Chains A and B, each alone.
Chain A
Amino acid sequence: MKRLIYLCVAAFCLSGCAQVPAAETAALEEKGRVDVYIGDELYQTAPFGEAQTIVVDQGAGMQNTIELTGETAHMLSSTCDTQDCVQQSEVGPHNYQQRMLGGYIICLPHGLVVEYVPPEAP
């Protein structure tokens, strides 16, 4: 009987452990994703809920650094001459429908676009 109880407890714990990553993945998916385009070609995709820094180096001194905080995405730095992309506000689920640029951060001199894609989008 004792053995059965131990087995049940172990099974319960294991199922719990297995469910934690599944819950985390679901939470990440719930926040959508960020697509980075150079021209009209997809360069990189990243889950929005994960804090990370994406460096896009196109050579010839063209470099952009995009920072994802888990809640927002913004252009941390750019080597472009206008610096418009750095001045564009952060984007995230809370504001992508209100921003003038929608879910996009655009660096025209480098032909780079960061797009916030909400979870319900394909």
Chain B
Amino acid sequence: MKAKAVARLGILSALALVLGWLDRLIPIAPGLPGIKLGLANTVLLYGLYMLNGKSALLLMLIKVLLTGFLFSPSGMLFSFAGSSLSLCMMFLAKRLPFTNIVAVSAAGGVFHNVGQCLVAWRMVLGRAVLAYLPWLLAAGLVMGLLTGIVAKYTLQALQYGKARRG
């Protein structure tokens, strides 16, 4: 890996970490696990659209490990399951015809919560997870759409800046 790529990965990882921390500072639904803005997902979307699948995977792993160790060790397994499934589905959704970054992000948001539910299903009473699943899916869709819109305008601004620099 070239020095420039390593430096870019470092900056993006730091950004994902800060956005993950911001997610915790903005309580969307206090006490309800899994319902959060998911701003850090914009960095993964950047990785998918501006870099490649391998870089996005690396970013996701670094984000899960660092966020887990710094903020919530018990949530690391949930975060890993959710982020892995989300990234896989975003990767596949991106390849489909007639999709855009907002739709890809929405798919990522929904499957992030599905992944977390699958782990929760194994760890706690299944019917309790099932009762909560519809809310999680709805929240994943709404938050995914919102972060997708943020990512869309961020990428547009970055591409405009890049074009102006030549």
Which residues of A come within 8 Å of B, CB atoms?
37, 39-40, 80-82, 84-89, 100-102, 104, 106, 108-109, 111-113, 115
Q: Given that A39-B123, A81-B73, A108-B74 are contacting pairs, would A100 and B128 also be in contact in the complex, using a CB cutoff of 8 Å?
A: no
CB neighbours (8 Å) of A115 from chain B are 125, 128
CB neighbours (8 Å) of A85 from chain B are 31
Query: 15 additional contacts, CB 8 Å, given A100-B135, A108-B124, A115-B128?
Result: A40-B125, A40-B126, A80-B74, A81-B74, A82-B33, A84-B31, A84-B33, A86-B31, A87-B31, A88-B31, A108-B123, A109-B74, A111-B123, A111-B124, A112-B124
Q: Is the interface of B mostly helix, strand, loop or mixed?
A: helix
Q: Is the interface of A mostly helix, strand, loop or mixed?
A: loop
How many B residues face the partner with a CB closer than 8 A? Answer: 19
From A82, A104, A111, give the contact of B72 (CB < 8 A): A82
Q: Given that A81-B73, A104-B132 are contacting pairs, would A40 and B31 also be in contact in the complex, using a CB cutoff of 8 Å?
A: no
